[in-house]
Amino acid sequence: MDENSLHCARLATVSETTERLKARTQLAALATEQADPRYAEIERLSTLDLARTMNEADASVPAAVAAVLPEVAAAIDAVADRLAKGGRLRYVGAGTAGRMAVMDAAECPPTFSTDPELVKAIIAGGKAAEGGAVEGTEDDAAAGAAAMAAERIGPEDAVVGLAASGRTPFVVAAVEEARRRGALTVGLSCNRDTRLSAAAEHRIEVEVGPEVVAGSTRLKSGTAQKFVLNMISTISMVRLGKVYRNYMVDMRVANSKLAARAVRMIREITGADAEAAETALAASGEHVKTAVVMLELGVDAAAAKAKLEAAEGRLSGALGAV
């Protein structure tokens, strides 16, 4: 290597080291990374007292979420609008946040009979990261952007990035790429004025403060993110007509427990007895909405399905279209 090349290599090394030090300094300054003096002696507490301490800390999460409900609601309205127009919802996360996203997305098909492609989670490290840590993957910004390309994210879609720190390179890059492609973007973090917030169209910053175990964001931060994910998926599905009153009338009847729940829903909605509800459910092809329309309007399964189709799957619309 000649002297000029060696000089350039040294400069590159210095620059890289400087960037690493800068990133570490920024991370250390985050509220979620701080050591709270209230918890400095937790290893000395009895198990019961430590459980009380953690429970008290967790009790602060709902208030932190409540403080950003207007931002949550605005993001949900935007997500639901994309889904209503045929778009898809993608969660993007790493580590704990990514695994919570996987869980929330996985519950949508059985709960709301959605196509598995409608709501999906993308986690840094892929399938291997769903059950445990895959080191280094959250720092791969190029992989985050590539994931959006692989999913063919476009203007009709919505992408929600999750990172407690708000600075995870994989997630930030994915949200930046999704926004570049015209998708609706939401950044969900647990710190203020984060890179993720700057990258997204909608920012949701749930400030939960320091964790009981400093930096362990699977605790209050994870709980806060789970709260918000519950709202995003559930309220979006309510807006799409997949809930009637407070019944999950679009659920899949996949086992005996769910069959019993379906019969109970049909009875409570229509006032029918158990035998009539079970008969209608069987005739409907195990589809709660169809069974309800059959009983309420006195029609057969084919006619009930036609009414639901005309009402775009909304049970309230089908029941009103006598």
Catalytic (active-site) positions: 107, 138
| Opening angle at CA 238, ends 233 and 240, nearest 5 | 95
| 3-state SS, residue 210 | coil
Element (H, E) at 185: strand 184-189
DSSP states along 99-146: HHHHHHHHHHHHHH---TTTEEEEETTGGGGGSS--TTGGG-HHHHHH
Per-residue b/e over 144-153, b at no fewer than 16 CB within 10 Å? bbebbeebeb
Local structure of residue 213 (DSSP, 8 states): S
Strand residues in 45-116 grouped as ranges (E): 89-93
Compute the distance between CA of residue 35 and CA of residue 28 in angstroms, rounded to an integer.
10
Compute the distance between CA of residue 273 and CA of residue 137 in angstroms, rounded to an integer.
55
Nearest residue to 291 via CA among 258, 249, 252, 322: 249
- Give the pairing type, strands 89-93 and 119-123: parallel
Nearest residue to 199 via CA among 208, 186, 183: 186
In sequence order, what are the beta bridge partners of 185? 159
- Phi and psi, residue 158, nearest 5°: -125, 135
CB 175 within 8 A of CB 187: yes
